[in-house]
Chains A and B, each alone.
Chain A
C-alpha cells in the first residue's frame, strides 16, 4: 500500500513538473506581454518530433533533446520577429484578443502541417531502468524527469533573480512604462522571453514524450493543459505556476488512478474554472 502510494507520488510529481514547465511557458509570455500563446503545444510537439528524428543521427536523448530545443527556439524567434510582432503593435484588450486569435490560427496552421508531414505518433523510448526504493518500483523516466526538471527550475530561478535580463523581465512584468523609463526595451525583452518560453515548452514536450505518445493532435491538448495550470498558478506568478503544476500533477495522477483518466482531465479544467470564478481579476 505504502509502496504503491510512493510509486503514485513519484509519477504524479513527474507529471506535475512537466505541467509546471508547460504552465511557465504560458505564464512568462502572458505575464510579460499579455499574449495567451496558444502555439505553445506546437513548440512541444515540434521538439518531440525533431528529437525523435535526431535520435537516428546523434547518440543519446539528452544531446538530441538539446539540439531539438535549440531548433524550437530558432523557430520561435522567427515567429516572434514576424507574425507575433504584429500582435504586439496593439495594446490593452485588443492585444489580448488579437493574440488569442492569431496564435490559435497559427497553431491550426502548424498542427495541420505536422499532420501532413509527421502523421504518426512519437514515443521517445529511452528505456530508463526502474528504481527500487523501499519495496516500491519507481518508474525510471519519472525519476529522471524530476531530477532534470529540478535543475531546470534552479536555472530559471537564477535567471530571474540574479541576471540583469531576468530582473529586467520582472520589471517589464510589473510595469511596462516604468521599464522603459529605466532603459529596458520591453519589445526586446518580450522577444527573448517568447523564445525562452518556447524552449521551456520544448523541454517539457521531450519530458512528456518519455512516458506518453505524442501526435500532432497532442499540441492542442498540451496547450490547453498549460493554460489551465498557468491560471491556477495566478497567470503572472512564476513560483505560483510551478506550485500549481506540481499540485495539479499529483491530484490528476491520484484522481486518474482512483476514478479513471477522464476525471483526471476534468479535475484540471474544473480547478481552473474555480480559480477564475474566485479571482477573475487576475487576468485583466
Chain B
C-alpha cells in the first residue's frame, strides 16, 4: 500500500523531474560559444518565465493586477547596480538589497491597496502610473542613472566557476536562473498546497467571506505582493546582465508588462508550468518576428486581443480540457492497456 503511494506520488512528480532535466540539458545541447545570440534567447525565456511566475503569485492567486513589472525590475536593477558601485561590493550581494527594496515598494503599494480596498482596476491603474513615474525619474535623474545612455553592466558573472567547470558565462547564467526558477517553483508549489493556497482561494472567491472566517486578507495580500515584487526585483539585474547594460528602455511597459501578460495568459493563470511554456512560445515568436521590425508589435497586439477575447482561461488549460473532454486520455489509456 505504502509502496503504491510512494509510486503514485513519484509518478505525480515525473513531469517536474522531466522539465528540470530538460532545462539542465539546454546549455550542452544549444549553447554555442561562438554565437551568444541563441544562449541569450534561452536566458530571456528563463527570466520571463520567472516574471510570469511572480505575476501568477500576485495576480493569479490574490487577484491583484500589477502593471509595473518593468518598473519593479528597473528598481531592482538600478538598486543592485548603483549600490554595488557606491559601496564597491559585488552585485551578487547587492542583488538581495535590490530584491528587498523592490519587495518593500511592492508590498507597501499592496498594503495601501488592501487598506483602501482597491478594486483590480484601481490597483492596475495606480501601478501603471508608478510604471510611468519610475521610467520618467530614471530618465530624468541622468546624473545618477545615466539617463537613456544607461550604465554598462556585466558584473553578475562567476569567473571562478567558469574556470572550474570550463563552461561559458552564458551557460552558468542560465543555470543560475534555472536555480532561481526552481526556488520560485518550489515556493509556489508549497504556497498553493499549504493553508495559504486555501486562504488565497477564499480571497479570490469572496474577500468579505474570507475575512469573516478569520483570514487576515490585508496581511496575505501584502505577503503575496512583497513576494512577487521581490522576485521580479531579484531577476531584473539578470535581465540587464543578459543585455550588458542597464537602460530604461529595457524595462518599458511594452517591453516587460505586455509580454508577461501574454505569457501568463498563454500558459494559463495559476498553472505551474504555464509561465515556462508561455515564455518559451512568446520569446520564440519574438525571435521569429524580430527581423520584421514593427510587425512584431502588430502581431503581439493581435495576439493579446485574440487571447483575451477567446482564450481567457489560458491556452494550456484549454488544450488540457479539450484533451480530457474529448476522451482522448481514455482512448490513449485504452490503447496502452491493449483494450
| A contact residues vs B (CB 8 Å cutoff) | 36, 83, 86-87, 93, 96-98, 100-102, 104-113, 115-116, 119, 220, 224, 227-228, 231, 260, 262-263, 265-266, 269-270, 272-273, 276-277, 280-281, 283-284
Query: In angstroms, how far is the closest chain B Cβ from the Cβ of A258?
Result: 14
For A87, the closest partner residue in chain B by CB is: B309
Residue B120 lies at the interface, judged by CB distance under 8 Å to chain A: yes
Query: In angstroms, how far is the closest chain B Cβ from the Cβ of A208?
Result: 18
Top 9 nearest A-B pairs (CB, nearest first) are A108-B301, A109-B301, A105-B304, A112-B297, A105-B305, A262-B140, A112-B298, A115-B294, A101-B308
Residue B254 lies at the interface, judged by CB distance under 8 Å to chain A: yes
Complex interface: stretch among B126-134, B173-181, B325-333: B126-134
Residue B139 lies at the interface, judged by CB distance under 8 Å to chain A: yes
Q: How far is the CA of A107 from the CA of B304 in the complex (A)?
A: 10
Is B119 a contact partner of A109 (Cβ separation < 8 A)? no
Q: From A96, A110, A263, A280, give the contact of B301 (CB < 8 A).
A: A110
Residue B124 lies at the interface, judged by CB distance under 8 Å to chain A: yes
Which residues of chain A are within 8 angstroms of B301 by Cβ–Cβ distance? 104-112
Is A93 a contact partner of B119 (Cβ separation < 8 A)? yes
Q: How far is the CA of A260 from the CA of B303 in the complex (A)?
A: 38
Is A116 a contact partner of B129 (Cβ separation < 8 A)? no
Query: In angstroms, how far is the closest chain A Cβ from the Cβ of B221?
Result: 14
Query: In angstroms, how far is the closest chain A Cβ from the Cβ of B146?
Result: 15
A102-B308, A105-B300, A106-B301 are known contacts; what are 19 more A-B pairs with Cβ within 8 Å?
A: A83-B305, A93-B120, A93-B121, A97-B120, A101-B304, A105-B302, A105-B304, A105-B307, A108-B258, A108-B298, A112-B301, A116-B295, A116-B298, A231-B125, A266-B136, A276-B122, A276-B129, A277-B112, A281-B117
Is A224 a contact partner of B126 (Cβ separation < 8 A)? no
Which residues of chain B are within 8 angstroms of A262 by Cβ–Cβ distance? 136-137, 139-140
Q: How far is the CA of A246 from the CA of B300 in the complex (A)?
A: 36
Contact A86:B129 (CB < 8 A) given known A112-B296, A220-B254, A266-B137? no
Q: Which of A231, A262, A272 has the most CB of B within 10 A?
A: A262
Is B132 a contact partner of A224 (Cβ separation < 8 A)? yes
Can you list 16 residue pairs at the A/B interface with Cβ under 8 Å? A102-B308, A102-B309, A104-B301, A104-B304, A105-B306, A112-B295, A113-B298, A116-B294, A224-B132, A262-B136, A262-B140, A265-B136, A266-B137, A276-B118, A280-B117, A284-B119
Q: From A97, A106, A116, A231, give the contact of B293 (CB < 8 A).
A: A116
Q: How far is the CA of A108 from the CA of B118 in the complex (A)?
A: 27
For B130, the closest partner residue in chain A by CB is: A273
Which residues of chain B are within 8 angstroms of A283 by Cβ–Cβ distance? 119, 121-122, 125
Is B294 a contact partner of A102 (Cβ separation < 8 A)? no
For B297, the closest partner residue in chain A by CB is: A112
Query: In angstroms, how far is the closest chain B Cβ from the Cβ of A218?
Result: 14
Residue B224 lies at the interface, judged by CB distance under 8 Å to chain A: no
Residue B336 lies at the interface, judged by CB distance under 8 Å to chain A: no
Q: How far is the CA of A111 from the CA of B124 in the complex (A)?
A: 22
Which residues of chain B are within 8 angstroms of A36 by Cβ–Cβ distance? 121, 125
Q: How far is the CA of A102 from the CA of B304 in the complex (A)?
A: 7
Which residues of chain B are within 8 angstroms of A273 by Cβ–Cβ distance? 126, 129-130, 133
Q: How far is the CA of A87 from the CA of B305 in the complex (A)?
A: 11
Query: In angstroms, how far is the closest chain B Cβ from the Cβ of A144?
Result: 29
Residue B116 lies at the interface, judged by CB distance under 8 Å to chain A: yes
Q: From B121, B124, B126, give the contact of A277 (CB < 8 A).
A: B126
Residue B316 lies at the interface, judged by CB distance under 8 Å to chain A: no
Q: How far is the CA of A101 from the CA of B266 in the complex (A)?
A: 14
Residue B171 lies at the interface, judged by CB distance under 8 Å to chain A: no
Which residues of chain A are within 8 angstroms of B297 by Cβ–Cβ distance? 108-109, 111-112, 115
Q: From B118, B128, B304, B309, give the contact of A280 (CB < 8 A).
A: B118
Query: In angstroms, how far is the closest chain B Cβ from the Cβ of A199?
Result: 23
Is A98 a contact partner of B305 (Cβ separation < 8 A)? no
Residue B261 lies at the interface, judged by CB distance under 8 Å to chain A: yes
Q: From B121, B140, B253, give the contact of A100 (CB < 8 A).
A: B121
Q: From A104, A116, A266, A276, give the contact of B133 (CB < 8 A).
A: A266
For A83, the closest partner residue in chain B by CB is: B305
Residues 134-164 of B at the A interface (beta carbon under 8 Å): 136-137, 139-140
Which residues of chain B are within 8 angstroms of A119 by Cβ–Cβ distance? 294
Which residues of chain B are within 8 angstroms of A98 by Cβ–Cβ distance? 308-309, 312
Q: How far is the CA of A228 from the CA of B293 in the complex (A)?
A: 31
Q: Which of A105, A109, A276 has the most CB of B within 10 A?
A: A105
Which residues of chain B are within 8 angstroms of A86 by Cβ–Cβ distance? 309
Query: In angstroms, how far is the closest chain A Cβ from the Cβ of B317?
Result: 17
Q: How far is the CA of A227 from the CA of B126 in the complex (A)?
A: 11
Which residues of chain A are within 8 angstroms of B305 by Cβ–Cβ distance? 83, 101-102, 105-106, 109
Which residues of chain B are within 8 angstroms of A110 by Cβ–Cβ distance? 301
Q: How far is the CA of A119 from the CA of B308 in the complex (A)?
A: 28
Q: From A102, A104, A272, A280, give the contact of B116 (CB < 8 A).
A: A280
Which residues of chain A are within 8 angstroms of B125 by Cβ–Cβ distance? 36, 227, 231, 272, 276, 283
Q: How far is the CA of A47 from the CA of B90 in the complex (A)?
A: 52
Which residues of chain B are within 8 angstroms of A106 by Cβ–Cβ distance? 301, 305
Which residues of chain A are within 8 angstroms of B112 by Cβ–Cβ distance? 277
Query: In angstroms, how far is the closest chain A Cβ from the Cβ of B293?
Result: 7
